[in-house]
Structure 1
Amino acid sequence: MGEPKAHLPPAFSDAAIRNLLVGLDLPEAATISRLSVTAEYHGIYLLRFNAKDVGRIKPPLQKQTISADDGSATLVLRVSGRHLPGLKTRNEVGCMVWVRHNTTIPVPAIVRYDCTENNPLGYEFTLLERAPGVSVDTIYDTLNEAQKLLLVKQLTDYIIQLHNKPWCKPCVGGLVPAGDGLPPIPGPIVEETFWQQPDIEKIWPAGENINTLNPTEGAFPGYVAYVTASVKRYIYAIQRHDSLAAYRDLIPRLQAFIAAICAPEMINELDNVTYVFAHKDLHFANIMCDPTQPDKMPITAVLDWEFSGITPSNRWNPTRAFLWNGQQNEDSKHEKERLFELFKKLIQERAPQILDEMEPNEMQEAMQTVHNFLRAIVEVCPRGQCVDKVGVWRATLEASLEVFGV
């Protein structure tokens, strides 16, 4: 993996942000504070508006955003780095709008956004209502078992809601704003494992970009179509980067793999999935709650939707981040697994068919293994990483290719 935080936007002056607000037809912020703790992909600013100016913000803010004490309101300005230009912000906005209109999952309202750099800051941005509460990871160690269960029950309800709204047509991709008040529509998939522009410029030969190295050509009409497009990009990468020369002997087998999974009878088996919308990174650092109501522990917001999208239901939790408390230790891993068993029990009681939909069949598992380990090799070799692991990864990849007779 690269280091997204190394390529965040510069710090902007108060004057620059006030100039942006003028262009957005918003009142002047009374105070502007830059958060010292940065997100992976954004510089974050808190913009506080006095009570006399809150009413001038259109569309009107939600009641929960306005302070009961003095009538002021705080908005969150998230300025995006140039990691995935033209993709990430657009996908995040489309996904947030879809979730707000199709579920009861609490998502901050979008006040303004720009998925281009044609604005006074020169960077993509979103301006959101500030979500009340605190992120669960910051208070996790203070929670008792009953409170943890309350959180898991709410998240279980969210997952059920999303799985109860399957996509009518096979589709793997993101969501993008349609404009004119229309619902978001399927668009390019956006994944955190994509090659991102700063690393491409540093590591890859001249002429490569996010579109040549990633499957960004649009929403795909099924699971097999997505895997096929991804593997084609990985083959291209192997041909282009010298660090991947040792894997060029695999190209004929990878091409045969594509032909095998695209055979009509195989497509029928591999594409036999339910397609659902998923957050895909639903750990506790992305979940806000209100600890002032300890007997309810209401979730107040789910954050960071930039890598969300429509996916085969067996890929709803691709990084296995669901219910992770954000701590890097073995106890944290075991705690996540324990909570996941609680989640499965709750699902079994309410919607047992979802558990079946979450499990891939044998051939889907083999196809995904080829995809995952090939992607991992293409991801780390150009960076000179994981040299002690890639041999094992190749062996795993080749074993899964054999499942398809190639």
Structure 2
Amino acid sequence: MTSTPSHHPSLPFGLRWEYDFWGPVPAWAATPNIATIEALSRQHLGADNLSVEFLAGGAFNKVYSIMIPSNNISDPKSYVFRATLPVEPFYKTASEVATLRLLRQCTSLPVPEVFAYDCTTKNELGFEWIIMEKIPGTRLKDLWPCMNLEQKKIVIERLGQFSKELREKCKFNAIGSLYQRTELSEGDLKVSVATDYNDFVIGPIVNASFFAGKRKPLTKRDRGPYRNDRVYLLALLKVEMEDKKLLLKLTSDKRAAGIQKAKHESLESDETDEDDDAEDAPEILENIQQLLEILPSIFSEDMQTEKFVLHHHDLNRSNIMVDHTTLEITGIIDWECITTVPAWEDTYPKMLLGEDMEEQPDPLVFGETDECRIERWEKWENTKLRKISDQAAGSGANNDKDACDKRGFREQLYLLEFSTKMVKDWIIEYESNKKYK
């Protein structure tokens, strides 16, 4: 089940990595040519008269609006062209297209229709790209601050119904990413897992934990698919371990050679990368080893019989489009890096996560600026909205002790780069609780 990466002599065209407080983030080393985008749009949409404008930029993408005039001047046809960075070449684009197509085929979730795409960089643009439907409506983010609790309940109840539909209609036998069978290579097909939908299979996972930064794609990565959550978590731990081992080796080689930069362009250090991060690497490796020792006590070795479900891990107010008058959800967007997950990882939408607060605080006054009062009110509102979500979804958010332990363990992998102390404290607390059970 191990996918061996190609060892590129340099980073893929257009991609560079920067490092902030939270770790590596992708950045554009080249900008997509808008004239080429126009030409591709004309070719694949069959329209000579169209205009293209830059719309927005995200972590991995640059998004452009395509407008095609129609006989009805007030209702031109609108599309989205999205160019994407090759952070996980081929697989990220291919899996997103497959996910969108399966959702449109098997569910009522309002997701964009894909009209054309290229999973490779071997095209005129030099980047992977997708042309898709432009979802009508307003971002929930722009309406939320002005909505009252009853209005918010309408949206959350609908999201809960969509969550229930996903759990019932999109069940799979492995953890990984969705692909159209015809897209995968023979090698990937050999390890892929069949689904109930003949055109689709579960293949290598597309997850930032496996590709973020310049080093991870150069290490040996088991990218699945995985038959149970224990193998999945083991793969996550090992990719972090291999990343830190490579970091220490590169740093040692640099010091031994007495030079300031790595010899190879693909491994050239940013000021905030290898020199600084190498100091924390031994402590991170120690944490990883301790987590590996704990792993068997939380994740069973037996093959799980449960099904795995699609989960939109980044379901926030920016990715939900609504009709501003009816509050009906018109679209759910940003399905890149979405994978199948075990039940314990399928929880509330990102915007509803947080601690419960049962006692209602004093209502906010119009124009309230006190951040503490606003935070308390939002915490109370979210407590109410989580209950609405539970009712609509037909189940709670998997809050039994085993699920909480598994989510707690998973969270430590996110924290490894951020705070080794927080990880150590969690390990100590877990082992102490286990000792006195």
Same fold by TM-score greater than 0.5 = yes
Between stretches 69-78 and 304-313, larger displacement belongs to: 69-78
The separation in 1 between residues aligned to 2:372 and 2:115, in whole angstroms, is: 40
Q: Residue 212 of structure 1: which of 219, 225, 242 is its match? A: 219
Structure 2 residue 46 is the aligned partner of structure 1 residue 26 = yes
The separation in 2 between residues aligned to 1:214 and 1:141, in whole angstroms, is: 43
Name the TM-score, length of structure 2 as normaliser: 0.70
Structure 2 residue 401 is the aligned partner of structure 1 residue 362 = yes
Structure 2 residue 54 is the aligned partner of structure 1 residue 12 = no
For residue 226 of structure 1, report the CA deviation from its aligned partner. Answer: 0.6
Structure 2 residue 56 is the aligned partner of structure 1 residue 49 = no
Match of 2:101 in 1: 97
The separation in 2 between residues aligned to 1:303 and 1:7, in whole angstroms, is: 22
The separation in 1 between residues aligned to 2:406 and 2:144, in whole angstroms, is: 37
Q: Is the 8 A contact 2:352 2:385 kept in 1?
A: no
Between stretches 78-87 and 219-228, larger displacement belongs to: 78-87
Q: Residue 372 of structure 1: which of 406, 411, 414 is its match? A: 411
For residue 370 of structure 1, report the CA deviation from its aligned partner. Answer: 3.4
For residue 112 of structure 1, report the CA deviation from its aligned partner. Answer: 0.6
Q: Is the 8 A contact 1:156 1:343 kept in 2?
A: no
Q: Residue 221 of structure 1: which of 227, 233, 239 is its match? A: 227
The separation in 2 between residues aligned to 1:3 and 1:246, in whole angstroms, is: 19
For residue 322 of structure 1, report the CA deviation from its aligned partner. Answer: 4.3
Q: Residue 267 of structure 1: which of 301, 319, 331 is its match? A: 301
Give the partner amino acid of 2:119. C
Q: Note closer, same or farther for the CA distance 1:287–1:323 as it changes in structure 2 (3 Å cut).
A: farther
Q: Note closer, same or farther for the CA distance 1:236–1:257 as it changes in structure 2 (3 Å cut).
A: farther
Match of 1:61 in 2: none
The separation in 1 between residues aligned to 2:408 and 2:283, in whole angstroms, is: 20
Q: Note closer, same or farther for the CA distance 1:148–1:364 as it changes in structure 2 (3 Å cut).
A: closer
Give the partner amino acid of 1:19. A
Give the partner amino acid of 2:398. E
Structure 2 residue 425 is the aligned partner of structure 1 residue 395 = yes
Report SS of the residue matched to 1:120: coil
For residue 267 of structure 1, report the CA deviation from its aligned partner. Answer: 2.9
The separation in 2 between residues aligned to 1:333 and 1:102, in whole angstroms, is: 39
Give the partner amino acid of 2:34. S
Q: Residue 202 of structure 2: which of 180, 186, 203 is its match? A: 186
For residue 106 of structure 1, report the CA deviation from its aligned partner. Answer: 0.5
Q: Is the 8 A contact 2:42 2:50 kept in 1?
A: no
Report SS of the residue matched to 1:172: coil
The separation in 1 between residues aligned to 2:433 and 2:70, in whole angstroms, is: 65
Deviations 1:317-340, CA, capped at 9 Å, x for gaps: 48833489xxxx666755664454
Equivalence map 1:310-329=2 (5 Å): 310-317=340-347, 320-322=350-352
The separation in 1 between residues aligned to 2:331 and 2:107, in whole angstroms, is: 13
The separation in 2 between residues aligned to 1:154 and 1:121, in whole angstroms, is: 39
Match of 2:315 in 1: 282
Q: Is the 8 A contact 2:179 2:203 kept in 1?
A: yes
The separation in 2 between residues aligned to 1:143 and 1:73, in whole angstroms, is: 30
Q: Note closer, same or farther for the CA distance 1:348–1:256 as it changes in structure 2 (3 Å cut).
A: closer
Q: Residue 121 of structure 2: which of 117, 122, 132 is its match? A: 117
Deviations 1:191-223, CA, capped at 9 Å, x for gaps: 344442xx31xxxxxxx44362765x2321111
For residue 349 of structure 1, report the CA deviation from its aligned partner. Answer: 4.0
The separation in 2 between residues aligned to 1:106 and 1:402, in whole angstroms, is: 46
Q: Is the 8 A contact 2:347 2:398 kept in 1?
A: no
The separation in 1 between residues aligned to 2:49 and 2:200, in whole angstroms, is: 30
Deviations 1:46-84, CA, capped at 9 Å, x for gaps: 1112337xxxxxxxxxxxxxxx54563121101002333
Deviations 1:101-153, CA, capped at 9 Å, x for gaps: 12111111101111111211010111011111111101222323332222112
Q: Note closer, same or farther for the CA distance 1:110–1:212 as it changes in structure 2 (3 Å cut).
A: same
Match of 1:39 in 2: 58
The separation in 2 between residues aligned to 1:339 and 1:8, in whole angstroms, is: 42
Match of 1:72 in 2: 76
For residue 190 of structure 1, report the CA deviation from its aligned partner. Answer: 2.3
Q: Note closer, same or farther for the CA distance 1:186–1:322 as it changes in structure 2 (3 Å cut).
A: farther
Match of 1:172 in 2: 175
Give the partner amino acid of 1:147. Q
The separation in 2 between residues aligned to 1:43 and 1:276, in whole angstroms, is: 29
Q: Percent identity?
A: 19
Equivalence map 1:80-159=2 (5 Å): 80-159=84-163
Match of 1:341 in 2: 383
Q: Is the 8 A contact 1:24 1:112 kept in 2?
A: yes
Report SS of the residue matched to 2:387: helix
For residue 5 of structure 1, report the CA deviation from its aligned partner. Answer: 6.2
The separation in 1 between residues aligned to 2:120 and 2:434, in whole angstroms, is: 43
Structure 2 residue 267 is the aligned partner of structure 1 residue 246 = no
Between stretches 298-307 and 313-322, larger displacement belongs to: 313-322
Q: Is the 8 A contact 1:78 1:125 kept in 2?
A: yes
